[in-house]
Amino acid sequence: MMEWSKTDKEMTTATYESVLKLFNDDGGVPEKGLLLVIDELKKLGKVEREIAPSEVADLSILREAQKEMGIKER
């Protein structure tokens, strides 16, 4: 992550810890949280184009596992 974002260890750690808080306890990723992560990383990478959540994450396996476990997505 440090190499990709071209940030130092302190900034990378802070970014990782803030991103970690966006996940639900069951491992789910709310779309709103994913959009926040995308926006922050776009700023770090100086990317201006719109990026859809489906371009960076395939949550189909998570959804399938949640369904099998009887966990409703949040």
Strands (E), the chain: none
For residue 23, give Cα distances in angstroms to 2, 17, 45, 60. Answer: 21, 11, 22, 16
Q: How confident is the model at residue 4 (pLDDT cuts 50, 70, 90)?
A: confident
Domains identified in the chain, total number: 1
User: Quick check: is 26 in a domain?
Assistant: yes
User: Quick check: is 74 in a domain?
Assistant: no
User: Quick check: is 24 in a domain?
Assistant: yes
Per-residue pLDDT at 50 exceeds 90: yes
User: Quick check: is 60 in a domain?
Assistant: yes
Domain that holds residue 41: 2-69
User: Taking residues 19-26, what's their average pLDDT?
Assistant: 76
Per-residue pLDDT at 49 exceeds 90: yes
For residue 51, give Cα distances in angstroms to 8, 10, 15, 17. Answer: 25, 26, 19, 22
User: Quick check: is 38 in a domain?
Assistant: yes
Q: How confident is the model at residue 73 (pLDDT cuts 50, 70, 90)?
A: low
